């Protein structure tokens, strides 16, 4: 120990010990900083929960990402559907949100991009492992806002009528190709046994009927006529004034009278899936995620058909329901390149094949689809049918401005309950649309 001529022995001793303590603290801090800067990069990924095969899918993703960068750890958190819609918005505004997160592509993803909460992924398309080499330009555009890519679409969901062919054969029912035939089929089923619900409708969460009115607007009003209204770009005196919108709601009233169960607004959508899977009801309109659910509940001998065309409607029945989904990257991520890599690897050839095989997804990258083993019959049907459609329509609760979307959801409940007529429903939607447009 050195001594100083200006300090006494005790002071020198104290100074010596303090210098040792400070040195120890510095070494510890330095070692921590080296540890954190040189090694692990944690990428938090949020997705919806309860998908079949999801655990295996994400285990594979973690391994695939490590092939490109062994320092990246992907930490997956799963959320319930309704909770996620709120939680993701809160988290993205905070400092501890996810780096990579699931979203529905449409207004939901575009809003985050416009608010600066989603990262522009355009520069990462062509990096090593970048999404540009995995998915087509068309699929890339599904996540585009103003020409920039803010999300990487890994799959899409569509909707079909599922029916029980054994029941149809037994009672000589044929697959309806028009809306009129669909109503007749419902009537025939009720004539066979009035206790059978031809098409169970569970609208307690409001979105179920929203998917039906999405297709009815498409079939009756048509894509060309709805475009300006949906985008709120139509002149004020024309916004949502097309009488065909009312006609679409009138079709809902017809369905409610002839096809649906009692109290659809108090019925849970999951229960209606079980009613079909248990063959209590012979038909239902459900998403492409439903095939696997029916199979997991023990019913695999079902078949599908498209939402029928409406006689005299603007659409010939070849346009289908399709919502692209995928991953976005938070603009606040501390590791933008690593996060973009994770979102990109999610659509690599290997991961896309695994997505189709494990989660039954309608994948955006079909390079290895021929290698898919034992594809269930419903999966093959979806893939072929989507390829065969002339166009696609996004669902209203994703596509429309939030207030107008909420008005459509509310009016679905009102029309089903009979508390508002189709005309009153459209008057209300128009009023909300005008207010929303004025606030833009």
Partner 1 sequence: MNKTQTNSIGFSLSSDRVSVIILLIPALIFCTIFIFIPAFWAIVGSFYSYGMTSLNDWKWVGFDNYIKASQDEFFWIALKNNFIIVFASIVLQVGVGTILAAILDRGIKYGKVIFRTIIFTPMVISSVAVSIIWLIIYDPNVGILNSILKAIGLPTPSMGWLGDPDISIWMIMIVAGWQNTGFMMVLILAGLQGVSKEVYDAAEIDGATGVKAFWYITLPMIRNIIIVAILITTIGAFKVFEFVYVLTQGGPSNATQVLGTYIYLQAFNLLHMGYANALSVVLLIIALILGWFQLKASRRA
What is the CA angle 349-369-69, rounded to 5? 10
One residue of 100, 117, 121, 248 binding partner 1 per CB under 8 A: 117
In 6-71 the beta strands, taken as DSSP E runs, fall at: 41-48
Strands 144-145 and 148-149 come out as antiparallel
Piece of 29-37, 334-342, 382-390, 401-409 that binds partner 1 (CB under 8 A):
401-409
Decide: 384 and 400 in contact? Cβ < 8 Å: no
Stretch that binds partner 1, among 4-12, 23-31, 184-192, 398-406 (CB under 8 A): 398-406
Q: Does 111 bind partner 1 (CB under 8 A)?
A: yes
Residue pair 154/54 in contact (Cβ under 8 Å)? The answer is no
Instruction: Map the footprint of partner 1 across residues 323-382, applying CB under 8 A.
Output: none
User: What does the alpha-carbon distance between residue 273 and residue 159 come to, in Å, rounded to a whole number?
Assistant: 13
For residue 414, the minimal CB distance to partner 1 (Å) is: 5
Considering the complex, state which of residue 288 and residue 328 has its C-beta at the smaller distance from partner 1. 328
Beta-bridge mates of residue 283: 163
Q: How many residues bind partner 1 (CB under 8 A)?
A: 35
Question: Which residue, 52 or 265, is less far from partner 1 as judged by CB?
Answer: 265
> Does residue number 406 form part of the binding site for partner 1 (CB under 8 A)?
yes
Binding test (CB under 8 A) with partner 1, winner from 85, 187, 389, 392 = 85
Question: What is the residue whose two structure tokens read 């508390």?
Answer: 419
Q: Are 143 and 106 in contact, with CB atoms under 8 Å apart? A: no
Residue 163's Cα: distance from chain center in Å? Answer: 24
Token look-up 């999405």 returns 214
Q: Which of 5, 10, 37, 90 binds partner 1 (CB under 8 A)?
A: 90
Residue written as tokens 């659910």? 293
- Sole window of 13-21, 60-68, 137-145, 404-412 interacting with partner 1 (rule: CB under 8 A): 404-412
Q: Which residue in the set 414, 421, 427, 434 belongs to the binding site for partner 1 (CB under 8 A)?
A: 414
Which 8-state DSSP code applies to residue 123? G
Task: Please name the helix (run of DSSP H) or strand (run of DSSP E) that holds residue 87, with its range, or none.
Answer: helix 81-93
Q: Considering only residues 219-278, where is the footprint of partner 1 by CB under 8 A?
A: 261-268, 271, 275
Which stretches does DSSP call E strand in 129-271?
Answer: 144-145, 148-149, 152-157, 159-163
| 367 vs 403, beta carbon nearer partner 1 | 403
The interface region with partner 1, picked from 39-47, 87-95, 144-152, 376-384 by CB under 8 A, is 87-95
What single-letter DSSP state applies at residue 233? Answer: -
Binding mask 186-205 for partner 1 (x = CB under 8 A): ------------------xx
Nearest alpha carbon to residue 353 among 91, 134, 189? 134
86 vs 170, beta carbon nearer partner 1: 86
Q: Which residues bind partner 1 (CB under 8 A)?
A: 85-86, 89-90, 92-93, 111-112, 114-117, 204-206, 261-268, 271, 275, 402-403, 406, 410-411, 413-414, 417, 419-420
């Amino acid at each position: 120990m050195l001594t100083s001529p200006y300090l006494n022995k005790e002071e020198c001793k104290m100074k010596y010990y303090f210098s040792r303590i400070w040195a120890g603290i510095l070494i510890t801090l330095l070692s921590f900083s080296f540890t954190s800067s040189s090694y692990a990069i944690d990428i938090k990924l949020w997705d919806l929960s309860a998908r079949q095969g999801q655990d295996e899918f994400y285990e594979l993703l973690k391994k695939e990402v490590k092939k490109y960068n062994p320092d990246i750890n992907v930490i997956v958190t799963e959320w319930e559907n309704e909770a996620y819609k709120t939680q993701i918005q809160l988290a993205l505004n905070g400092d501890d949100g996810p780096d990579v997160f699931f979203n529905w592509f449409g207004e939901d993803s575009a809003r985050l991009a416009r608010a600066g909460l989603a990262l522009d992924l355009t520069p990462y398309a062509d990096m090593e492992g970048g999404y540009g080499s995995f998915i087509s330009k068309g699929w890339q555009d599904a996540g585009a806002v103003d020409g920039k890519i803010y999300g990487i679409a890994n799959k899409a969901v569509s909707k079909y009528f599922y029916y029980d062919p054994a029941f149809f054969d037994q009672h000589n029912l044929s697959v309806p190709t028009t809306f009129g035939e669909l109503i007749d089929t419902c009537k025939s089923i009720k004539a066979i046994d009035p206790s059978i619900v031809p098409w169970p409708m569970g609208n307690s969460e409001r979105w179920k009927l929203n998917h039906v009115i999405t297709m009815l607007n498409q079939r009756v009003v048509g894509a060309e006529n709805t475009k300006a209204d949906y985008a709120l770009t139509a002149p004020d005196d024309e916004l949502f004034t097309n009488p065909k919108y009312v006609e679409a709601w009138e079709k809902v009233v017809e369905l409610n009278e002839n096809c649906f169960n009692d109290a659809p607004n108090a019925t849970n959508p999951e229960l209606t899936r079980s009613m079909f899977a248990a063959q209590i009801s012979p038909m239902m309109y459900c998403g492409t995620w439903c095939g696997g659910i029916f199979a997991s509940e023990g019913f695999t001998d079902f078949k599908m058909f498209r939402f029928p065309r409406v006689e005299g409607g603007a659409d010939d029945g070849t346009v289908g329901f399709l919502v692209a989904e995928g991953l976005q990257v938070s603009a606040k991520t501390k590791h933008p390149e690593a996060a973009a890599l994770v979102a990109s690897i999610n659509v690599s050839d290997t991961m896309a094949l695994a997505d189709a095989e494990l989660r039954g997804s309608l994948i955006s990258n079909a390079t290895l689809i021929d290698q898919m083993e034992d594809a269930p019959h419903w999966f093959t049907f979806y893939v072929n049918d989507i390829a065969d459609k002339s166009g696609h329509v996004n669902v209203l609760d994703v596509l429309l401005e939030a207030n107008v979307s909420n008005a459509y959801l509310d009016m679905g409940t009102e029309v089903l309950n009979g508390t508002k007529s189709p005309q009153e429903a459209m008057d209300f939607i128009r009023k909300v649309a005008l207010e929303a447009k004025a606030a833009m």
